[in-house]
Amino acid sequence: MIVTVTLNAAVDRTLTVPNFQRGQRHRASAGVTLAGGKGINVARALKALGVPVVATGFVGGTTGTRIVDELTQEAILNDFVRIEGESRTSTAVVDPAGSTYTEINEWGPSVKPEELEMLLEKLRYLTQDAGYVVFAGSLPRDVPTDFYAEATRELARRHVATVLDTEGEPLRLGVEAEPVLVSPNQIEAEGLVGQEFHDEEDFRLALDSIADMGARNVLITTEQGALALLREDREVRRYRASAPRLDPVSAVGAGDVLLAGFLAARHAGRSNEEALRAAVAAGAASTLEVGAGRFDPRQAGRLQGGVELQELAPVEA
């Protein structure tokens, strides 16, 4: 079982608006509404890949009820903590003509200390036989910035492997807690190491820097694929994995699917290299559909052969 944790769950609405322009009136050509939030997107992708998964986190109000209903309709096992605050709604506008997407995310609810303790208690129960626990997404209001870090340390004491995908201070503190895998996108990784990435050497330095901060394995997702620092036994290897060229429909949630593809392959006992190919192929397949976390696993399988995998030389001292 893999457990995904989404503290800031949402109802995600994705609208397709050709030739989208600010300040203009538009009519959407299509729309998709799903339960969302990064952890939920990961859970959806894991379910599609046949991996046993349960989604947990916080939901509240009528929006929270809709989130649970949507997950139940998708047959995604879930066990959320009900809170007093109202869960958020997020909107993404996809412009196929300009190959762009615009996200508008609400802040989300305020969480009380007793509600946070209820979640921790639920995690202790759900993770008794967990292969991985995935902490993904932003923190709601009034949740301490070190929540992911403290939860990671508690799970480590119980020998439960944790995966972290967030941003800002929660990411920095979480990495220091030594998760098994940290998976920021390029912008989040740049914020973590304090500089922009312009070439391969910048990425190699960033991989090593994030590993030195505490992460055992590092997976940086990019628009072209991913860069990774992965450990197998005592050996450390670095890779660039590039997706085959496609005409994307929407990139919303592609990084979440990529992470799910990697975890699913590792969960099945595949090597790091095989897992990286599977991950990038799954992320690429997700760009062909509208709706975060949605993709065709058969299409992902067909794309694996087109993933270019290059091993990177270690950073010179």
For residue range 153-194, what is the model confidence (pLDDT) as tens digits? 999 999 999 999 999 999 999 999 999 999 999 999 999 999
pLDDT in tens, 94-142: 887 777 778 888 888 999 999 999 999 999 999 998 999 999 999 999 9
Q: Token pair 């998964």 is at which residue?
A: 53
Alpha carbons 251 and 92: distance in angstroms, whole number: 10
Range of the domain at 106: 2-312
Q: Is residue 317 part of a domain?
A: no
In a domain, 279, yes or no: yes
Read off the CATH number of the domain in which 248 is found: 3.40.1190.20
Q: Does residue 204 sit within a domain?
A: yes
What's the average model confidence in pLDDT over 44-54?
Answer: 97
The CA distance from 194 to 143, in Å, is 24
Q: What pTM, to 2 d.p., does this model score?
A: 0.93
pLDDT band, residue 263 (cuts 50/70/90) = very high
| pLDDT score of 105 | 83
Q: Which residues are catalytic?
A: 256
* Position 20 pLDDT exceeds 70: yes
220 domain-assigned: yes
The answer to whether position 263 is within a domain reads yes
pLDDT band at 317 (very low <50, low <70, confident <90, very high): low
Asked if residue 260 belongs to a domain, the reply is yes
Give the tens place of pLDDT for each residue, 220-242: 999 999 999 999 878 999 999 99
- What is d(CA 254, CA 317) in angstroms, rounded to the nearest whole number? 34
Give the dihedral sign, CA 310/269/154/56: positive
Q: How confident is the model at residue 144 (pLDDT cuts 50, 70, 90)?
A: very high
CA angle 193, 109, 133 (to 5 degrees): 55
When pLDDT is cut at 50, 70 and 90, the band that residue 64 belongs to is very high
Total domains in the fold of the chain: 1
